[in-house]
Amino acid sequence: MSGQSDVWRLTCFDELPSTSDYCLNVCRTEEDVTGLAVLARRQTKGRGSRGRSWLDGGQGLALSVVQAGAQAGPDALGGWPFVASLGFYDGLLRAVPAAQGHLTIKWPNDILLDGRKMGGILIEREGDYVLVGLGANLAAAPQQSQLERPVACLAQCGMVPDVEIVARHVLDGLALWCRQWRQKGFAPIRNAWLERAHPLGTPLVVQGGTTYEKGLFAGLAEDGRLLLDTERGMKTIATGDILLMEKGA
């Protein structure tokens, strides 16, 4: 993972259409952008995964970073979703320590608060770079009528500091886990992710295209793929939308 930077160059804007689009444009026009971090206090056209829009409930986190694109090991998915979600989780917890016990990671990189989505990550490639976009509901969540699933905001756990302070905590977390990945490989990343994820045995549904699998969360394969214990045996999931279900549902 040569070329990675543990020092971020944070640029803050009052408003941008999309922090990830801004980073994409910089990647296409400048030669070395590793370590670039872009924060917008307001984002008007945020993008989520699978072509979805990211809705801002106001005073949220809209942060994108650029890193060199090399990956460690032969991971089928790559470690980026797991490294990014660890840094995200740890940074949010540093910002609001009272969120301890309320935050979990949902495979591969959503941040949940008491089971409701609070933050998400968009990972894209542009040439030799990986762009990681991180969005979180901090002071408020979008109106539920605009969304398909229940959502939450970090302020439900306590006072949230200024968004730039939150962003710097997240960047510190990302730097730490990038170093761990670079120095020790994916195995400790996988272990740390499992410690922060919903518990083993959590009922899950995986949806994607014509796929519909229902089962119990059984951990991660060595390459980061989801293990789902179904009535037809153990399934290994490489991609899909994950829904947490109530036990007994």
What CATH number does the domain containing 223 carry? 2.30.30.100
Least confident of 75-79, 87-91, 169-173, 228-232: 75-79
- Which range of residues forms the domain containing residue 96? 9-196
Identify whether 216 is part of a domain: yes
**Statement to judge: residues 122 and 185 lie in one domain:** yes
Q: Is the pLDDT of residue 78 over 60?
A: yes
d(CA 203, CA 103): 18
Boundary-marking domain end, from 174, 196, 218:
196
Q: Number of helices (H) and strands (E), helices first, in the chain?
A: 4, 12
Give the pTM: 0.90
Number of domains the chain contains: 2
Q: What is the pLDDT of residue 142?
A: 77
Q: What is the CATH number of the domain that holds 84?
A: 3.30.930.10
Q: What is the pLDDT of residue 2?
A: 36
**Statement to judge: residues 174 and 231 lie in one domain:** no
Digit-coded pLDDT (tens) for 207-246: 877 778 999 999 999 989 999 999 999 999 988 888 887 6
Q: Is the pLDDT of residue 1 over 50?
A: no
Q: Give the residue with greater pLDDT, 47 vs 136.
A: 136
Residue with tokens 């608060």: 113
SS3 content of the chain, % helix, strand, coil (to 5): 30, 35, 40
Assign 55 a pLDDT band (cuts: 50, 70, 90): low
**Statement to judge: residues 165 and 207 lie in one domain:** no
Digit-coded pLDDT (tens) for 21-40: 999 999 999 888 989 999 99
Identify whether 4 is part of a domain: no
Neighbours of 203 (CB within 10 A): 16
Q: What is the pLDDT of residue 203?
A: 95
Residue with tokens 């994108």: 64
Q: Give the residue with greater pLDDT, 32 vs 156.
A: 156
**Statement to judge: residues 42 and 155 lie in one domain:** yes
Digit-coded pLDDT (tens) for 89-113: 999 999 999 999 999 999 999 999 9
Q: Give the residue with greater pLDDT, 141 vs 198.
A: 198
Q: What is the mean pLDDT of residues 118-122?
A: 94
- The pLDDT mean for the chain works out to 87
**Statement to judge: residues 189 and 214 lie in one domain:** no
Q: Is 116 strand, coil or helix?
A: strand
Q: Is 169 strand, coil or helix?
A: helix
Q: Give the residue with greater pLDDT, 172 vs 143.
A: 172
Neighbours of 157 (CB within 10 A): 22
